[in-house]
Each structure stands twice: as structure tokens, then as C-alpha cells.
Chains A and B, each alone.
Chain A
Amino acid sequence: MAKDVIIVDNLTKIFDKNLVAVDHISFTVKEGEVFGLLGPNGAGKTTTINMLVTVLKPTEGRASILGYDIVKQASIVRRLIGVVPQDYTADEDLTGYENIILCGDLYGIPREVSKKTALELLEFLGLMKFKDKKVETYSGGMRRRLELACGLVNKPKVLFLDEPTLGLDVQTRAAIWEYIKRLREEYNMTILMTTHYMEEADNLCDRIAIIDHGKIVVMGSPEELKNSIGSDVVEVEIKEKDDILDMIQKIEYVKDVKKVGESSYLIRLENGERTAPEIIEFIRDSGLHVVKLSLRKPSLDEVFLTYTGRAIRDIEESRESLMTRRILLRRARG
């Protein structure tokens, strides 16, 4: 069984005595797992990561990484983890290569080792061509990859990614996803990431914790979460005008059927992939013909809506209150 690499126990951060950014959260991440903290901006994701990477001190609670306490053994923790912050932190006046070497020096990695690693990383992230260009000439995607390189220079066992694709276009985002997947598959790296993009969490994470107002609302694999809010939806249309309402109702896993057109039915059911073929066979066996069938899975958007009572988009829209909270948190974080 994979061991627990990150253990978080009632971690809490209160800024300036009354701004509760993170409110008693607990979770564990297993070796080789990609764990996502999903939530809107200002939910406390970055504050959580900052505490785990020892840049912020928790007000209450404990956490350990690879068995080392993040407060008492902070310097050991720092040696073992890689951090890719949300902001671009590379030095613009230096070249990409120089930035990676600088990071290597900060980790106390012997130069001959870090030089080799830097080239490996530049190659891995497709930055070899720009290695000797100043960072100020880099595009957003290139900068993000450079941040990734700096976070990987000490060959960490655990990698922390804070909003790894924030503000990137779709293609660049997909490329970053690819790198993250490879890190996990090829090096069995344990990754904790934050995001407020549903697709990203769905695509990359083995398990997700939805976090809102500093609290974990719900936790589980994307599948579990989607299943937990109920059902898949199958829409079926048949050639004939016969009423099959009662017939479908009897099929296992079907929860509820509605007739939505002359010969169209909306079926709410569990385990959609397995049940849908059964429905087709059932209709055929009755001598009828299926003209059209579609299966819709619930998305994480719906999960978020169900558990927080709001769509993540709505939260994005109430910009004013969001910005105030964000600025407040940012100031407090420093």
C-alpha cells in the first residue's frame, strides 16, 4: 500500500487576528498521487500551499511531509519538496538557464550536478532553444515552464503547484498538463496542486478536495464526487410512438424517467455507461428501434454547485467582493 506522503491535520491560518483564511482543514495525500485543491479565488488554497511549503506559519494545527513536521523540521521539508508558485518569480534580468542554476544554488546543489539537471529540465520542458535568452523576453507559457523547471531542480519527491495554468491559453494549458502527467507517470512524484479550473482538476487529479471559505467542503476522486451528487442522464429517442415509460422504469439502476417529446425520454440513472446499453437491448427486445441516444455525465461544475450552493462561475462574477478578499489575503500573505 502506498504510504501517506502529506498529512494535514486541522491546519488553520488566521491573518491579523480576524481574517480566517484556512479553517481547520485535514487531508492526506498518498505517494504518487495527484491531489487537487479546487475552489474559487480567495478560498484559501494558496494559503494552504504556502503553509505546507513552509513560507507561512500555521496559526493552529499540524502538517507533515514525508514524515517531517512543516514547522519544527521546516528546513528538511524545504530540501525535499519542489514549489511552483502562482506568480512568476524568475529573475527577469537573468537568462532561463541562469535562473535554474540560481535555484540550484539556493538548494545547495553542487554546480556540476545542477548544470546537468538544468539542461535535462530545459530539454524536458522544451525550453532548450531559449536557454540563453533573458527571461523578460519569455512568453507566459515559457515562464510557467521555467517556474516548473526551477521547482524541479532539486529533484523533489513532492511537488507543489499553485494554479499551474493560471492565465494561459488552451494549448499552453494542455502542454503543461502533459508535463504534469509525465512527472507523475515517469517519476512517481507526489503532486499537490491548486486550481480553480474544473477541467484541470478533472483531467489531472486522482483526488480532489473542494475548498470554500477556508474549509474543505467535500473530498474524493472526481468520479466519486460526480457519482455522489447522483445520476447520469440518458436521453433516448425511438422510432415508434409506443409508450415505454413503465418498461424502462423496471430496468436496474434507473431512478426516474420522464417523457420529454412524442417519442423521447429523459432517464436519470446510475452507472450510465453500463446501464445505457441495457436500455438499448431492452428496447430492441421489445421490437422497437432506437433512433438517438445520448449519455451525459455530471460535471465537477455540478458537484461544486451542489456542495457550495453556488456555481464557481457565479463566484467569479461577483468580482468586487472577490477582489477585496483577494487583495486582503495577498496583503496579509505579504
Chain B
Amino acid sequence: MKIESYSQPVFKSILQGLFALMNRELKKWIKEPIILLMAVLQPIMWMVLFGKSMNIGAIFSANTFKNINLPDLKIPGELVNPPIDGLITIPGSILSENIENLLSIIGGQALENVFGISDYFSYLAVGMISMITIFTSTFSGMSIVWDRRLGFLYKVLSTPVPRPAILFSKVLNAAIRSIFQSTIVFGLAILLGVRFSPSFSLINLLGIYLAIFLFSIGLSSLFVALALRSTRHETQIAVVNLTTMPLMFTSNAFFPTSLMPDWLQTIAKINPVSYMTDALRQLTIYSMDVPILLLDFTYLALFATSLSVLGMTLAWRFLVR
């Protein structure tokens, strides 16, 4: 054993450190399938229980209007064109028969105007991909608190690994996990009967993953940065619990923003969850609107870049006390 120094390009050393840290966490994650199961369970339950029970589409279906007995409709003859004498009587039975079809056509159109698709389950199922991504990304801060507690962070800090790489390894890890878990949720959604638009193809899957990746990078950068100095995981859990619910409900994940009150719409317009969810829906269940999709991706890219730059800057400054 003799003292020597290694000659290898700096960027290679940095990547080596980054990947070593990322692999360590991925290895731990793969070894504990129960954590994976628990993580995907919640969105799956929402999808199965909520999505299937809140069958909004069915309200407007022909079934709902069965057994409605309308009285005979009498119209004064001078109101019709051309006017005739006397009354026109339309028998209630004929009215009842036609109104079924009429209302279900109107209802279907109303659903499509509101949700962009006539099937609420498909709408929600795609929203649940956003949910799992939010969960996975917000929890990413926990691991840095654990590393600090277990002393591992101390060791990492005493090595030449650049501080931003420590943060970024956790962020990348969250993004990879989000993609993997989303795939499970998405697969299940397909089994449960998501109705794809005709514009869906397998190439869209790349777009879906890109949207999840960008969103996860942004959100987990923020949460890892929040945990940089934290020594208590209780605080982290509290923060996560406090933020996930509002993040979900101030977006279009469950319900379209167009029906929200103005103040809520304003929040939803800033909330990146809306843009991710919309991108996911454009790529799966909507007939793709390319300009809107481009806007979604631009917003997500900005979100990812600005927050990861912020996170890495904070890591430089605050990881060392």
C-alpha cells in the first residue's frame, strides 16, 4: 500500500460518486418490496374504490333515465311553424322514450366538456399517476435525514463527492422510483379499463416518462433541500403530510380546474401538478393537442430546472454547517 493519487477526469469521478450513492439507495429499495407495495397501494385504492364508485358518467347514461313517466305534452297550434289550429298533443310515452336518448347524449357531451373525456374512471386513473409521483418525490427528503442520523452522511461529507451530487443522487433516485411505480399504477389502470384515445401509441409512453421525470426532479429537489439540515424525521413526515393533500386538490388530478372558484383556479394554474397531469392525459386519454402539450412540457422543464438548481445551490451552502 503506497500513497498515490489517481488520474482520471474530474467529471468521471463526480459521476462515479453520484451513481454510487444512487445505486446504494436503489439497492436498498429493491431489497424491500414491502415499501414499494405500500407506496403504490394508496393511489391504487383511490383508483379502484373512488374511481369505480364515483361513476359520474353513469349519471347521464340511458339507465338513469329509465322509468321516467312524463305526462302528455300539449302545445298550442299557433306556436308551431307553420301555425295550425287547435292543440298538438305528444303522448307522454313517446316523450319518455326519446328523452332517455336525448339526455344521455347531452350528458355525455357535458362530461366531455368538463373532463375532456366521457369516462371519469379514465380521468382519475391518469391523475393517480400524478399522485404516486407526488408521494415518492415528497418522501425523498426522508432519506437524507436518515443518512444524517445513521452517520452515513458524515462519511459522505468527508469525501470529495461534490455536495450537489449528494442531493442529486437522492433526486434521481426519487425520479427513477416514480417512473417505476407509475408504471405499476398505469398497468393496473389499463387492466381496470382505461379508455385510450385513438391518438395513443407506445411512443407516447416516452412522453409520459419524461413528464414524470421532470416533475419528480423538481419536486424532490425541493423536498431534499428542505431536509438538508433536518435531524428529525418527524418534521419531515409532518411537512409531507401537510403538503401532499393541497398539492393534489389544487390541481386537476381529481377534478377539472374549470369548475373551480376563481381563487382556486389561480392556484391550480401555478401548481405544476396540473401541468404534469394534463400532459399525461394529453398523451393517453385525450386526443392530443400539441400546442397545449408543448406548454405543459415547457412548464415542467422550467420547474425541474429552477428547483434542481436551487436545491444544488442550497446543498453547497447548507449541507456543511
| A residues at B contact (CB < 8 Å) | 53-57, 75, 78-79, 81, 83, 85, 87-89, 91, 93-94, 102-103, 105-110, 113, 117, 120-121, 124, 150, 152, 154-157, 186-187, 331, 333-334
Complex CA gap A79/B8 in Å reads: 13
Contact of B14 with A by CB under 8 A: yes
B156 / chain A contacts, CB cutoff of 8 Å: 106
Given A85-B154, A89-B151, A102-B20, A107-B159 contact (CB < 8 Å): yes
Query: A91, A108, A120, A152: which contacts B6 (Cβ < 8 A)?
Result: A108
Q: B4 on the interface (CB 8 Å rule)? A: yes
Instruction: Flag if A87 contacts B158 (CB, 8 Å).
Output: no
CA distance A48 to B31 in the complex (A): 38
Contact A91 B24 (CB under 8 A): yes
Give bound CA distance, A57 to B163, whole Å.
Answer: 14
Assuming the contacts A155-B3, A334-B148, asked whether A105 and B20 have C-beta atoms less than 8 A apart, the reply is yes
Q: Knowing A105-B20, A108-B16, say if A53 contacts B31 (CB, 8 Å).
A: no
Q: B residues within 8 A CB of A85?
A: 151, 154-155, 158
A150 close to B1 (CB less than 8 A)? no
Partner of B161 from the list A83, A106, A157 (CB cut-off 8 Å) is A106
Complex alpha-carbon distance, A88 and B152, angstroms: 8
- A residues within 8 A CB of B161? 106, 108
Q: Is the CB of B155 within 8 A of A89?
A: yes
Contact flags B3-44 to A (C-beta < 8 A → 1, else 0):
111101010111011011100100110010000000000000
Nearest residue (CB) in A for B166 is A106
Q: In whole angstroms, how far apart are the Cα atoms of A117 and B3 in the complex?
A: 11
Least Cβ distance of B18 to chain A in Å?
A: 9
Find residues 275-312 in chain B having any chain A CB closer than 8 Å to their own CB. none
Given contacts A54-B158, A157-B3, 16 further A-B contacts (CB under 8 A): A55-B158, A75-B160, A89-B150, A93-B31, A102-B20, A106-B17, A107-B159, A107-B160, A108-B8, A108-B161, A110-B6, A110-B8, A117-B1, A155-B1, A155-B3, A186-B1
Pick from A103, A124, A331: contact of B155, CB under 8 Å: A103
Cβ A75 vs Cβ B162 within 8 A? yes
Q: Please name all residues of chain B whose beta carbon is closer than 8 Å to the beta carbon of A88 when the two chains form the complex.
A: 151
Q: 15 A-B pairs, CB-CB below 8 angstroms?
A: A57-B320, A79-B160, A85-B155, A85-B158, A87-B151, A93-B27, A105-B20, A108-B6, A108-B161, A110-B8, A124-B1, A155-B1, A155-B2, A156-B3, A334-B148
Cα A94 to Cα B23 in complex, Å, equals 12
Chain B residues near A79 (CB-CB < 8 A): 5, 160
Which listed residue (B10, B17, B154, B162) contacts A89, Cβ 8 A? B154
When distances are taken between beta carbons in the complex, the residues of chain B under 8 Å from A53 are 158
B-side contacts of A93, CB under 8 Å:
27-28, 31
Give Cα A87 to B158, complex, Å: 14
* Main SS at interface, chain B: helix
Instruction: Sort A-B residue pairs by CB-CB distance and give the 7 closest, nearest first.
Output: A108-B13, A105-B20, A89-B151, A87-B151, A106-B159, A83-B158, A89-B155
In the assembled complex, the CB of A140 is this many whole angstroms from the nearest CB of chain B, namely: 14
Complex: A102 Cα to B23 Cα, angstroms: 10
Which residues of chain B come closer than 8 Å to A102, judged between CB atoms?
Answer: 20, 24
Residues on the A chain within 8 Å of B150, using CB? 89
In the assembled complex, the Cα of A152 lies from the Cα of B31 at a distance in Å of 29
CB of A245 to closest CB in B, whole Å: 59
Taking CB atoms and an 8 Å cut-off, the chain B residues in 87-111 that contact chain A are none
A-chain residues with CB within 8 Å of residue B20 when the two chains form the complex: 102, 105-106
Minimum CB–CB distance from A92 to chain B (whole Å) comes to 8
From residue A22, how far is it (CB to closest CB) to chain B in Å?
A: 13
B321 CB contact (under 8 Å) in A105, A150, A333: A333
Bound: A170/B29 CA distance, A = 39
Closest A-chain residue to B11, C-beta based? Answer: A108
Select the residue from B21, B152, B156 with max chain A CB neighbours within 10 A: B152
Flag if B17 contacts A55 (CB, 8 Å): no
Q: Are A108 and B2 in contact (CB under 8 A)?
A: no
Cα-based distance from A55 to B148 in the complex (angstroms): 12
In the assembled complex, B52 has its CB within 8 A of some CB on chain A:
no
Expressed in whole angstroms, the minimum distance between the Cβ of B36 and any Cβ of chain A is: 16
Q: Would you give the shortest CB distance from B125 to chain A, in whole angstroms?
A: 35
Chain B residues whose CB sits within 8 angstroms of the CB of A117 once the complex forms:
1
Contact with A along B138-168 (1 / 0, CB 8 A): 0000000000101110111111111000000
For B21, what are the chain A residues with a Cβ–Cβ distance below 8 Å?
Answer: 106
Tell me how far the C-beta of A70 lies from the nearest C-beta in chain B, rounded to whole angstroms.
11
CA distance A85 to B151 in the complex (A): 9
Indicate if B197 sits at the interface (CB-CB under 8 A). Answer: no
Could you say which residues of chain B place their CB within 8 Å of the CB of A89?
A: 150-152, 154-155
- In this complex, what residue of A is CB-closest to B155? A89
Contacts of A124 in B (CB 8 A): 1
CA distance A334 to B153 in the complex (A): 10
Contacts of B151 in A (CB 8 A): 85, 87-89
- Are A108 and B320 neighbours in the complex by a CB distance under 8 Å? no
A187–B159 contact, CB under 8 A? Answer: no
Asked if B231 is an interface residue, CB under 8 A from chain A, the answer is yes
Q: Are B158 and A155 in contact (CB under 8 A)?
A: no
- How distant is B90 from chain A, measured CB to nearest CB, in Å? 77
Kindly state the separation between the CA atoms of A78 and B229 in the bound complex, as whole angstroms. 21
Find out whether the CB atom of B157 lies under 8 angstroms from the CB atom of A55: yes
* Chain A CB within 10 Å, residue with most, of B10, B17, B152, B155: B155
Residues of B within 8 A of A150 (CB): 155
- Say whether A91 contacts B152, CB under 8 Å: yes
What separation, in Å, do the CA atoms of A106 and B160 have in the docked complex?
7
CA distance A113 to B5 in the complex (A): 11
Contact A331 B231 (CB under 8 A): yes
Report which residue of A54, A56, A103, A105 has the largest number of chain B beta carbons within 10 angstroms of its beta carbon: A105
B157 A155 Cβ-Cβ under 8 A: no
Minimum C-beta distance from A197 to chain B (A): 21
Residues in A whose Cβ lies below 8 Å from that of B231: 331, 334
Least CB separation from B9: chain A residue: A108
